[in-house]
Amino acid sequence: MRRKLLVGNWKMNKTPSEAKQFALEVVKGALYAQDHEIDLGIAPTYLCLQTFKSVAPKNMLVFAQNVHFEDHGAFTGEVSASMLKEILMDGSLIGHSERRTYDNETSLKCAKKIRALLNNDLIPLYCVGETEQEFNEGKTKDVIRLQLEEGLKDLTVEEMKKIIIAYEPVWSIGTGKNASEEIAENICGFIRDHVEKMYPSSSQEVRILYGGSVKPNNIAGYLRQNNVDGALVGGASLTVSSFAEMIHALSE
Ligand code: PGA
C-alpha cells in the first residue's frame, strides 16, 4: 500500500520568519496527517531550510527546490546534495517546469542531480510534464516517456523505488486550469507502466503525485484515482489554513 503524500512547493515565497511561523502553526494538521497515515512535505527556499526544519513537526519532510550534481567546486550560486544532507534535509525537487523553462534544466541534467541525491541518501522528487502546445498536439506521452527515460536512467530497482515522481502539466501550473481527474489518472498510470518497463518490479512502490492548480476543493478527486498517490501544490500550500484543508480532504 502506497502512503498518500502532500508536498507544498513554496517557490520563491516566504522569508525565514514567515517559514518559521508556518512551521509552528501547522502542528495540528501534521498530527492529523500522522493519525491518518498521510505523509507531508514542504519545499521552502534554501534560505529557509534550516529554520523551517528546526521548528517543523517531525513527520514533515523538508525538500530543497533544486540541487547541483557536483559535490563541491567552482559553481557560484549552487548547493550540493552533501550540503543538504549535512543540514538534515530529506530530499529535493528535481526538474520542476519553472527550472526547465528558466534555467535550462534538461532531463539529462536531472539524471545527474538524481544520482547525486541518491548517493547521499536523499529523496529525489522528479517533476515531469508537457507544455500546452505539446498537449494540444497530442504529444503528452511522447514527451513524458523521454523525460522518464533520460531523467531516470542508470538506476537500480531499489533506487527507483525511492524516487517520487510528480506529473505536472505545464499548462496547469499556477493557471487555475487544472487537468481533469481522467487526464491525471491516465498520465500517472502511463508513468507507472513506463517505470515498470524500465525497472521491472519497482513501479508498485513508486509514489506518483499530480500537480498543477491543486486546491482544497479539488484535491480529493485526484486522490480517488488509482495511480495518483498525492499532490505537489504551489499556491495553495502557502497558507496553513489551505494546507490543513488539503490534509483533511486527503483523508476522506
Ligand atoms: P500551483 O503550482 O499549485 O500553484 O499550480 C504547482 C507547482 O508548481 O508545483
Interval 195-248: pLDDT, tens:
999 999 999 999 999 999 999 999 999 999 999 999 999 999 999 999 999 999
Contact 172, 213 (CB under 8 A): yes
Residue among 90, 221, 80, 243 nearest 164 (CA) = 90
Which of 126, 128, 173, 213 most suits a substitution to test ligand 1, by most atoms within 8 Å of the C-beta?
Answer: 173
Ligand 1 atom closest to the Cα of residue 176 is 5
Contacts of 41 (CB under 8 A, 6+ apart): 5, 6, 7, 8, 60, 61, 62, 63, 90, 91, 125
Pocket test for ligand 1, best of 132, 168, 170, 245 (most atoms within 8 A of CB): 168
Check residue 1 and give its pLDDT: 82
Is the CB–ligand 1 distance for residue 41 below 6 Å? Answer: no
Residue 235 beta carbon below 6 angstroms from any ligand 1 atom = yes
Q: Is 170 in the pocket of ligand 1 (CB under 6 A)?
A: no
Give dist(CA 251, CA 159) in Å, integer.
29
Q: Is the CB of 128 under 6 A from ligand 1?
A: no
103-117 pLDDT, tens digit each = 999 999 999 999 999
Atom of ligand 1 nearest to the CA of 215: 3
Q: Is the CB of 95 under 6 A from ligand 1?
A: no
- For atom 2 of ligand 1, which residue has the closest CA? 234
pLDDT digits (tens, 9 = 90+) for 50-89: 999 999 999 999 999 999 999 999 999 999 999 999 999 9
**Banded model confidence at residue 44, pLDDT cuts 50, 70, 90:** very high
How many distinct structural domains can be found in the chain? 1
pTM for this predicted structure: 0.98
Cα–Cα nearest to 201, from 151, 159, 245: 159
Query: Nearest C-alpha to atom 6 of ligand 1 is from which residue?
Result: 234
Q: Tell me how far the alpha carbon of residue 213 lies from the centroid of ligand 1, in angstroms.
A: 6
**Average model confidence (pLDDT) across the chain:** 97
- Domain of 20 in residue numbering reads as 4-250
With H, G, I as helix, E, B as strand and everything else as coil, classify residue 138.
Answer: coil
**Mind telling me the catalytic residues?**
96, 168
CATH number at residue 69: 3.20.20.70
Residue 69: CB atoms within 10 A of its CB come to 18
| CA separation, residue 180 to residues 43, 88, 177, 210 (Å) | 25, 37, 9, 11
| Diameter over CA atoms, the chain | 49
Q: Which residues pair with 7 in a beta bridge?
A: 41, 232
